[in-house]
Structure 1
Amino acid sequence: MTQIKTDLLVIGAGSGGLSVAAGAVQMGADVTLLEGGKMGGDCLNYGCVPSKALLAAGHAAHAMQAGGKLGVNPVDPTVDYAAAKDYVAGVIGTIAPHDSQERFEALGVRVIRAYGSFVGPKQVQAGEYSITARRIVIATGSSPLVPPIPGLDGVPYLTNETLFDLRERPDHLLIVGGGPIGMEMAQAHSRLGCKVTVIEGLKALGGDDPEMAALVLDRLRGEGIEIAENAMVEQVRGKAGAITVTAKDGREFKGSHLLMAVGRRANIDKLDLDKAGIASTAAGITVDARLRSNTNRHVYAIGDVAGGLQFTHVAGYQAGLIIRQAVLGLPAKQSTAHIPWATYTDPELAQVGLTETQAREKFGGQVEVVRFDYAENDRATAINQREGLIKVMVARGRPVGVSIAGHQAGELIALWSMAIANNMKMSQIAAMVAPYPTIAEINKRAAGAYFSPRLFDNPMVKRVVGLVQRWLP
């Protein structure tokens, strides 16, 4: 057994773990990184990157059918599903060197390609290595949650970890789960020529503002995607090419392929957390506001395994907090008020801070909801993207939440994350100057809509202006 002593041990080479390792080693810490699977983790290999690449392929196919209003005669695209998957693989291959073992070893990180398990409060065994670390960061991420549905174990099904290896286009894809993953893959496959049915036990896109989610769902239904809500799955039966999903209310859905997209589970099974005195729940490792284990002060957890928001950018944000504490010895606590998220359907759906319902519950009559329609934006009109809406929840003159459904919503939301993170006022957003014509003007116009009634419908302002006009030479 090879003995290793290190300043910082990072378990998991996904987005969060890689960010911690890169930052810490470049600041002078001795860093050891464990990864038993693929470098880059879920995001690079099975999640964010391949899903957005497949969405891009679907968008290209859809564009060939959607140019009628612009004077371009629609044509039916010839879709090579296998070639689209080749494109996805190529995108992963292009990004992979940035997350590679070679790059991190060149930075000075000791990379061990093995799964690790605790053998003591500060000791981890990984293959032939016994590692003792001053600080340990668990960044093992999450895996697809597959619930124990009767019959599912006897039917072939896909998850996000196997979907991108599929080479033959499904005739009819059944998707169990109407969250962001389910809806993105529904639209991508529909645009690539598949019939698609989404089966959701509650409400599709139920984690977002209902009004904004409805804008997206209406578009998806308009493209021919069947979205069955309040359809809790009771049973699955069939075989490859002929699968039936039965809901508790008796509805049956038949298709050729089945994708399970009902959520994620934290990857903690292989860690032997009890040997290190690390408390956990079904959601993941229990941590405090510093992301430190509640029961082992030498251990931190970040990303999906920490049981909070499950987004790649959250893991990246948390990595910065860990570097501040475990490397520099400075205090740091996480805040989620400014964390945005987006669903990359067409139109996109994005959120940061409080939804309208949450804002009204927290601030009551002090909250004001400002709305601005995409249809009033000249660039949106020019590119035929007029369906969309932004809502800004304002309390005491500052944004506390923003919901956007529409073209480039995922890009627009970043400004509001910055505003909330820095406690900015609506006047500071209104002072922004955006190039004309851009979609970005929507943010400025939303801020302007907050001030319009205060300026143009205010009798006092009109009286003051009248006096000023009489005094001016």
Structure 2
Amino acid sequence: MVAPTVSTPDAVVIGMGPAGEEVAGRLADAGWDVVGIDERLVGGECPYWGCIPSKIMVRAGNLVTDAHRVPGSAGISRVQSDWRPVVRHVRAATDDWDDKVAVDRFTTRGGRFLRGTARLTGPNEVCVSGPDDGGTETLLRPRRALVLAVGARPSVPPVPGLAGTPYWTNHDLVEAAELPESLLVLGGGAIALELGQAVQRFGCQVTVLEAQSRLLPQEEPEAADLLMRVLTTEGIEIHTGIEAVSVSRQGGRFTVVCRRGERLSAERLLVATGRRVDLERLGASALGVPADARGLPVDERLRVLGAPGVWAVGDVTGKGAFTHMAMYQADVAVRGILGQGGRPAEYHAVPRVTFTDPEIGAVGLTEAQARTRGLAVRTAVADLAASGRGLVHGAGNDGFIKLVAADRVLVGATAAGPTGGEILGLLTLAVQAKVPLAELRATNWAYPTFHRVVGDALNAL
């Protein structure tokens, strides 16, 4: 066994996803000696398997559906979907899952990069094992800051038989050169529905199984009802309130047996039942954090509680597994590490978008969450079709605006529709800045835009 190399840089950043790369790069820009560590690709989930490639797939599926909408509305069209251009675009956007550009981007700023598995061996000590089998190890003892940005991994449910099968996660589907003829999807959240709808539009027969009573269980029930209607109309088979009790694979097909006796079969099985942070693998017990904790406890400056000199950003904090959240927290942490001050982190107006068609954009509290907090809640829902925009047969204008108000301000909102994520911008600002409802009602909303429906909902409050 080779004795480990010992190094004492100014800062160590474990995990070089969007948040980690941002923190490490900005500390390097400030003249610090920074070591960034990742066992996978620099840039993390978002550019290689998440946000970017999945939206290429979603946009391609939307184009196919838009072309089908031409007859009866704008003329004649003939549509023959082809997955091969999508594969080419995904591979181009991900550099064929090569992170050389990202690594160079960091090192040219003065940082040092180590490829390997990092584990905490003390409150301010990190052991990095190399990616090969040579037994090489590096001990890092940062002098000024340790930043934990390890992200999350797909959470696989303990269904008997599942672990022994070649099931897919979103990584496998995004990297697929060809689509299967049929796909079972475990999970009814954002990843499941985005990818499921996209591949259904390219001829793959999709069946969704969600254990809870509705799709998108963390969002408003109106959003679940809308997607249930749209997705089933498109041919996706959806089962909610269904529990898988066994998984098997035989003859090139997966079979899922459910508690009520249903037997569902398909060529491939996609597991999209959420993500989890593996604190045990990180060695978080060195910080006094239980291995089974949902995330690292942090204060408003992203400092890990009870661990001086240690910060955490991104998924590992348990504040929301979103790239924009990771980048937001990275900025707060960098300012804190460099002693620059500024506003601490706030979480009352966290935006989130499910990029289905229609999109489901939401910010802040749902009605149920607001009532659980004991707020004096008022709500209103307005139909998007009332905007008058593009009202032609089959134009895909399904959607609504739902507002959740308390104490004369918005505490939450949902914008569901063709541009739900874009409408969400103004609603996020309203929730973040706690703009009085009277001011929002006095706003002159342009007609005919979908934004005008926000005014209709405000008037209905």
Same topology, TM > 0.5: yes
Query: 2:87 pairs with 66, 85, 88, which one?
Result: 85
Distance 1:405 1:138 in 2: 35
The one-letter code sitting in structure 1 at the alignment partner of 2:243 is M
Within the alignment, does 1:258 sit opposite 2:260 as a pair?
Answer: no
| Count, aligned residues | 448
- Stretch deviating more after TM superposition (213-222 or 432-441): 432-441
> In the alignment, what sits opposite 1:131?
140
Distance 1:129 1:81 in 2: 44
Q: TM-score, normalised by structure 1?
A: 0.88
Counterparts of residues 423-442 of structure 1 (less than 5 Å)? 423-432=434-443, 436-442=447-453
| Helix, strand or coil at the partner of 2:389 | helix
> In the alignment, what sits opposite 2:217?
206
Distance 2:236 2:369 in 1: 30
| Helix, strand or coil at the partner of 2:150 | coil
| Helix, strand or coil at the partner of 1:54 | helix
Cα deviation for residue 334 of structure 1 reads 2.8
Counterparts of residues 192-271 of structure 1 (less than 5 Å)? 192-202=202-212, 203-239=214-250, 241-271=252-282
Q: What CA deviation, in whole Å up to 9, does each residue of 1:207-235 have, x standing for no partner?
A: 11001221122100110100001111000
Residue pair 1:35, 1:113 contacting (<8 A) in 2 also:
yes
Within the alignment, does 1:23 sit opposite 2:15 as a pair?
Answer: no
- Stretch deviating more after TM superposition (22-31 or 254-263): 22-31
Distance 1:361 1:278 in 2: 28
Counterparts of residues 7-22 of structure 1 (less than 5 Å)? 7-22=10-25
> In the alignment, what sits opposite 2:159?
149
Change (3 A) 1:361 1:380: farther
Cα deviation for residue 426 of structure 1 reads 2.5
Residue pair 2:382, 2:402 contacting (<8 A) in 1 also:
yes
Structure 1 unaligned spans of 5+? 451-473
Counterparts of residues 302-341 of structure 1 (less than 5 Å)? 302-328=313-339, 330=341, 333-341=344-352
Distance 1:385 1:293 in 2: 46
Within the alignment, does 1:188 sit opposite 2:191 as a pair?
Answer: no
Query: 1:108 pairs with 94, 110, 114, which one?
Result: 110
Change (3 A) 1:123 1:416: same
- Stretch deviating more after TM superposition (193-202 or 325-334): 325-334
Larger-gyration structure (1/2): 1
Q: What CA deviation, in whole Å up to 9, does each residue of 1:305-340 have, x standing for no partner?
A: 222311111111111111121122637643221101
| Helix, strand or coil at the partner of 1:281 | coil
Residue pair 1:29, 1:327 contacting (<8 A) in 2 also:
no
> In the alignment, what sits opposite 1:456?
none
The one-letter code sitting in structure 2 at the alignment partner of 1:119 is T
> In the alignment, what sits opposite 1:455?
none
The one-letter code sitting in structure 1 at the alignment partner of 2:106 is F
Cα deviation for residue 443 of structure 1 reads 3.2
> In the alignment, what sits opposite 2:294?
283
> In the alignment, what sits opposite 1:64?
67
- Stretch deviating more after TM superposition (105-114 or 346-355): 105-114
Q: What CA deviation, in whole Å up to 9, does each residue of 1:199-256 have, x standing for no partner?
A: 1111221111001221122100110100001111000112363111111111111111
Within the alignment, does 1:53 sit opposite 2:61 as a pair?
Answer: no
> In the alignment, what sits opposite 2:366?
355
The one-letter code sitting in structure 2 at the alignment partner of 1:304 is D
Cα deviation for residue 98 of structure 1 reads 10
The one-letter code sitting in structure 1 at the alignment partner of 2:44 is G
Cα deviation for residue 437 of structure 1 reads 4.0
> In the alignment, what sits opposite 1:394?
405
The one-letter code sitting in structure 2 at the alignment partner of 1:176 is L
Change (3 A) 1:424 1:380: farther
Cα deviation for residue 352 of structure 1 reads 0.8
| Helix, strand or coil at the partner of 2:105 | helix
Residue pair 1:292, 1:300 contacting (<8 A) in 2 also:
yes
Cα deviation for residue 376 of structure 1 reads 1.6
Within the alignment, does 1:373 sit opposite 2:383 as a pair?
Answer: yes
Distance 1:99 1:310 in 2: 25
| Helix, strand or coil at the partner of 2:435 | coil
Larger helix percent: 1
Q: What CA deviation, in whole Å up to 9, does each residue of 1:19-70 have, x standing for no partner?
A: 2123333344432211121111111111111111111111122122122241
Distance 1:96 1:425 in 2: 48
Q: Percent identity?
A: 33
Residue pair 2:184, 2:265 contacting (<8 A) in 1 also:
yes
Change (3 A) 1:279 1:154: closer
Change (3 A) 1:98 1:314: farther
Residue pair 2:151, 2:314 contacting (<8 A) in 1 also:
yes
The one-letter code sitting in structure 2 at the alignment partner of 1:173 is L
Change (3 A) 1:430 1:34: same
Q: What CA deviation, in whole Å up to 9, does each residue of 1:265-304 have, x standing for no partner?
A: 2143432233454444342323344432233122122211
Residue pair 2:298, 2:304 contacting (<8 A) in 1 also:
yes
| Helix, strand or coil at the partner of 1:192 | coil
Distance 2:66 2:273 in 1: 30
Residue pair 1:378, 1:437 contacting (<8 A) in 2 also:
yes
Distance 2:153 2:167 in 1: 15
> In the alignment, what sits opposite 2:177?
167
| Helix, strand or coil at the partner of 2:56 | helix
Q: TM-score, normalised by structure 2?
A: 0.90
Distance 2:251 2:358 in 1: 33
Distance 1:282 1:244 in 2: 33
The one-letter code sitting in structure 2 at the alignment partner of 1:102 is D
Distance 1:357 1:265 in 2: 24
Distance 1:96 1:379 in 2: 43
Change (3 A) 1:352 1:3: same
- Stretch deviating more after TM superposition (325-334 or 205-214): 325-334
| Helix, strand or coil at the partner of 1:50 | helix
Change (3 A) 1:314 1:355: same
- RMSD of Structure 2 on Structure 1 (CA): 2.5
